[in-house]
Amino acid sequence: MAPPTVYYVPEFITKSEEAYLLQQVYKAPKPKWTQLLGRRLQNWGGLPHLNGMLAEKLPIWLQQYCNKISDLGVFGGKTANHVLVNEYKPGEGIMPHVDGPLYYPTVTTVSLGSHTLLDFYHSVSTAQDDLPKTEESRYFLSLLVEPRSLLVLRDEMYVQFLHGIKGVNQDIITDKVANLSASSAALGDYLTRSTRVSLTIRHVPKVLRATLRLGK
Ligand SMILES: O=C(O)CCC(=O)C(=O)O
Ligand SMILES: [Fe+2]
């Protein structure tokens, strides 16, 4: 089986690009936000659906970064066409989950405003035995994602593991942080969270094209 693939690129964007992107996110009209339990989000590019996504044109400020990331080749020559903007206040997070089959096999994330710790868990179906497993016993490793970084998760990392963010105000850097050497943190650090905005940039392969048939 292919090893889990993770690319972590610190300082993928500059501070002024970060400020520009945050400004664009907060410029969006209020109805663009969906409030969820523990975070709020903006969906751009269309609503992904098993039958296909009715694609919507991305605004230029997102298209630019879709292009920049796609040019790395992480979507196998395709160009990202979907962006999820998540906003987490300190103490907020996202339950362990898999992203599902709509975007397979690559997910890329640009972080703005704050670091977070992304935690990975073995999925129940890949557990060695069928004893009930606690979240703690399924815990695999964490990745520290810093502001302005790019994270790319591919293939097995995407399929075999759940990912989540704990709803805490502070993260402790342990030896389970797999990308510590690529980050500016050190073992034993306590990192206090501020508001983090993440851009989850993906390629949705199955797209419905709205065809206009007006007359002939
Ligand atoms: O904010 C993040 O980095 C993770 C978001 C996420 O996992 C998702 O939207 O599916
Ligand atoms: Fe996710």
Q: What angle do CA 124, 169, 123 make, to 5 degrees?
A: 5
Ligand 1 site, residue 149, Cβ cutoff 6 A: no
Whose alpha carbon is nearest atom 1 of ligand 1? 198
Cβ contact 198:13 at 8 Å: no
- End-to-end Cα separation, the chain, in angstroms: 51
Ligand 1 site, residue 38, Cβ cutoff 6 A: no
Whose alpha carbon is nearest atom 3 of ligand 1? 198
Whose alpha carbon is nearest atom 10 of ligand 1? 99
Ligand 1 site, residue 193, Cβ cutoff 6 A: no
Instruction: Count the helix, strand and coil residues of the chain and give each as a percent rounded to the nearest 5.
Output: 20, 35, 45
pLDDT by 10s per residue, the chain, length 216 = 455 789 999 999 999 999 999 999 999 999 999 999 899 999 999 998 888 899 999 999 999 999 999 999 999 999 999 999 999 999 999 999 988 888 768 999 999 999 999 999 998 765 556 656 788 889 999 999 999 999 999 877 777 899 999 999 999 999 999 999 999 999 999 999 999 999 999 999 989 876 666 655
pTM of the predicted structure, to 2 decimals: 0.92
Atom of ligand 1 nearest to the CA of 164: 7
ipTM score of complex: 0.98
Q: What is the DSSP letter of 212?
A: -
Atom of ligand 1 nearest to the CA of 196: 1
Cα of 86 from ligand 1 centre, angstroms: 7
